[in-house]
Amino acid sequence: MRRTTARMADGRELIYFDDVTPDRVPPPDTRDLPQVQTGSIMRYDVLTGEWVAIAAHRQDRTFLPPADACPLCPTRPGRPASEIPAPDYDVVVFENRFPSFAQGIADVPAEVDGDPLWPQRPATGRCEVVCFTSDHGASFGALPVSRVRTVIEAWADRTAALSALPGVEQVFPFENRGTEIGVTLEHPHGQIYAYPFVTPRTGQLLEQAAEHRRRTGRDLLGDVLDAERKAGTRIIREGEHFTVFVPAAARWPVEAHLVPHRPVPDFPALTDDERTELAELYRDLLHRFEVYFSDAGPPPYIAGWHQAPVRTGRDLTRLHLRLFSLRRAPGKLKYLAGSESGAGAWINDALPERIAQRLREVGP
């Protein structure tokens, strides 16, 4: 894999990650772009103990352009100049033009309305776009394993770099796929958020893991993995370094977790052998999701890579994937209605053991 850096016309960083190691000379970005302006703020919700980011400038972001005007495709003759000035690429990472979190945001008053009940601060962090392929019509599950490995290398590179930024507490690579999810660009891509706080889901996991260690002296995710492998009924695939399974208390009708056998905190900590196996297992899992819903078109899904926070609780959790689809059956979506959205009380429409069986059956 070869890494080449460049700058966009407005000063944003752009990085090429090539599958092989040719000498790449990045072409200049000749567009006339204004400097990115962002005024994102964070306000503290005293009722939940969570920070809420407010990024009003994102209302103006690009929304489902036609394929011949896609800003994530390569820049080629006869097409508008895109975010990537090269005529072709393997994997590209660049700073988001419409970030929820960014560097250099101006200070804001420490309190909303001058009331200490509502603390607020700049939403300092960074948001990056990860383009998995130059092929607009492709999908992650259809990529060759070698390309998936390049994406993993990009995730590891960016996790290390973003973790070193001042104020960053957690780095979260993820992919949203499908208009049902709310995707605004259909080109195969994901994002990386570098948050200035530990996200609520990770915070809950750390609390559970700390209590489990206090009671048992053991690692919570390690015990979950051991229990799933012992039961076997929800296992989809097992490798030397990773296991893929449907969790016993799955929230979504179709959900799978991919967990390493050793307590590795994040992508940079993976060995070469682990990265190689992860590329094969992850591609296989996405392919199974696509075959599972093959009679209903490409499945909408969210793939979130949960890594240990940068500074706290790194010994309490480990890198793991949580992949789920909003589709509960062909032509039917799982809507988050009163119980889930209103009360936060999840009700699953499917039996995890049956979903695991089906995901095993659709494999090669």
The DSSP line for 228-286 is HHHH-TTEEEE-SSEEEE--TT-SSSEEEEEEESS---SGGG--HHHHHHHHHHHHHHH
> Has 212 been labeled as part of a binding site?
no
Q: What is the largest CA-CA distance in the chain?
A: 65
- Which candidate, 228, 323, 249, places its Cα nearest to that of 282? 323
Rounded CA-CA distance 55/98 in Å is: 9
- Predicted local distance difference test score (pLDDT) of residue 360: 97
Give residue 60's identity as a one-letter amino acid code. Answer: D
> Has 131 been labeled as part of a binding site?
no
Residue 296, pLDDT > 80, answer no
Which domains, and CATH codes, for the chain?
A: 1-35+62-96+125-364 (3.30.428.10)
Mean pLDDT in residue range 75-86: 94
Residue 330, pLDDT > 80, answer no
- For 172, the 3-state DSSP assignment is strand
Catalytic residues: 189
Q: 319 φ, ψ to 5°?
A: -55, 135
Following CA atoms 98, 99, 105, 108 in sequence, which dihedral angle do they give, to the nearest 10 degrees? Answer: 100
Percent residues over pLDDT 70 in the chain: 100
Quick one: angle between helices 272-292 and 145-163, nearest 10? 120
Tens-place pLDDT, residues 146-187: 999 999 999 999 999 999 999 999 999 999 999 888 898 999
- Predicted local distance difference test score (pLDDT) of residue 178: 92
Mean pLDDT in residue range 87-97: 97
Residue 38: which pLDDT band, with cuts at 50, 70 and 90? confident
Rounded CA-CA distance 31/42 in Å is: 32
> Has 136 been labeled as part of a binding site?
yes
Residues β-bridged to residue 188: none
> Has 73 been labeled as part of a binding site?
yes
